[in-house]
Structure 1
């Protein structure tokens, strides 16, 4: 599963909206499968798997967007962390007595069937050191200012970015306005970063802006994760930043 595919982001956003009572299970799963095709966990259809987790008192879904050297959202074991880093993403189901990690891969059967298979294993406790959406927004703004020169040195506008990258910024009903705003901005910046990588930076650009771009990439991933968890944050005044 390509790291840019927002399957886990969609699963977390729409799954949490379902758990919070804003959408039905069918609508949530339909949105996930609109991105990646039919989804199964092992051999169990995603719809049935989520219903079973709800019976086991599933509390929330969390998003992990790790990169090599930055296990964002992961808490082990090493086999799960390694699979999630390879995929560039994972979803974590938080239950009262355990957490289950789901890592997506392409499910190819025959010449025409394309779907998503989610491999599941038990994980460590949910990470509590992840930023709030307000904290992530501040980090993203600071990283964006630092990286402006490096980004603007890439000739040409951000055109032709994959459509599925844009979809990654979409949250579900029930999320606060700030979360929608932060997720959309982070997704646009992520697309610009990928465009810079595709076009290539000169050695001089890398020397001048490489560190800033790496920090922006980290801030983008933290912002997307924070936005996808914001549905369960305490309600705050939007003006109280």
Structure 2
């Protein structure tokens, strides 16, 4: 269990933190100080770059609220899977480069983060309306992918080449302890934690292909993990997309 609230907040990617806490702020559940503490999560500062002069995060979010923002939704795309994105191409490409972005619902705006030392710079771009995975379907797909990947990795003797992954697969109940913003459905908090768990397993297992005995084994390993990573990304998008949240 993570006793440091800043570390717990930092477990969720940047786009997820802004989606959860920014939406909670827009809906009046938290104040500006709580919003900034949660989104920064230990960073020195966040700035927003756009057509005008750079501005602080809170000022930029207040401007978006004035322009009609109703919620913030996250995207976690990968090559060949632009989940949570609706275009245009400039926004999609920028999001794909860093693997995450925020779509501002209600005003056709997107924010793409980039780390510059201890600072995060959010670039403001046009972003169109998108489709997001259904929470229930994403949940079922993730559970199925975890079971299938665990079996395939066991067949590939994962305990031999990455014993820490075997340990994680044996203890799937030990999930990241996320700090959720008020108003985020409990089901989505749990889904986000399991999505992060799945993505960590996939990343660890793909980290070192050098331990594989053959090209065939490398292909088998990737074949076992690609569906898991895809399901993890889609589940995380569903969990961090307020337009698709189920009622509590």
**Counterpart position of 2:229:** 217
**Counterpart position of 2:40:** 33
| Count, aligned residues | 219
CA distance in 2, matches of 1:62, 1:35: 22
Contact 2:135 2:244 in 1 (8 A): no
Normalising by the residue count of structure 2, what TM-score does the alignment of the two structures yield? 0.79
**Could you say what secondary structure the match of 1:66 adopts?**
coil
Cα displacement (A) at 1:84? 0.7
**Counterpart position of 2:3:** none
Contact 2:75 2:101 in 1 (8 A): yes
Cα displacement (A) at 1:169? 5.1
CA distance in 2, matches of 1:69, 1:82: 12
Which 5+ residue runs of structure 2 have no aligned equivalent? Answer: 1-10, 168-174
Of the candidates 207, 227, 230, which is equivalent to residue 239 of structure 2?
A: 227
The C-alpha deviation readout for 1:78-101, integer Å capped at 9, x for no partner, is 111111101100001112xx3111
**Counterpart position of 2:208:** 199
Q: Which runs of 4+ in 1 moved over 6 A?
A: none
Contact 2:100 2:112 in 1 (8 A): yes
2:101 maps to 1:87: no
CA RMSD of aligned residues (A): 2.5
**Counterpart position of 2:122:** 118
Which 5+ residue runs of structure 1 have no aligned equivalent? Answer: 109-113, 160-165, 237-241
Normalising by the residue count of structure 1, what TM-score does the alignment of the two structures yield? 0.82
CA distance in 2, matches of 1:199, 1:150: 17
| Compared CA separation, residues 131 and 5, structure 1 to 2 (3 A) | closer
**Could you say what secondary structure the match of 1:93 adopts?**
strand
CA distance in 1, matches of 2:231, 2:60: 32
Of the candidates 58, 68, 86, which is equivalent to residue 69 of structure 2?
A: 58
Cα displacement (A) at 1:233? 2.7
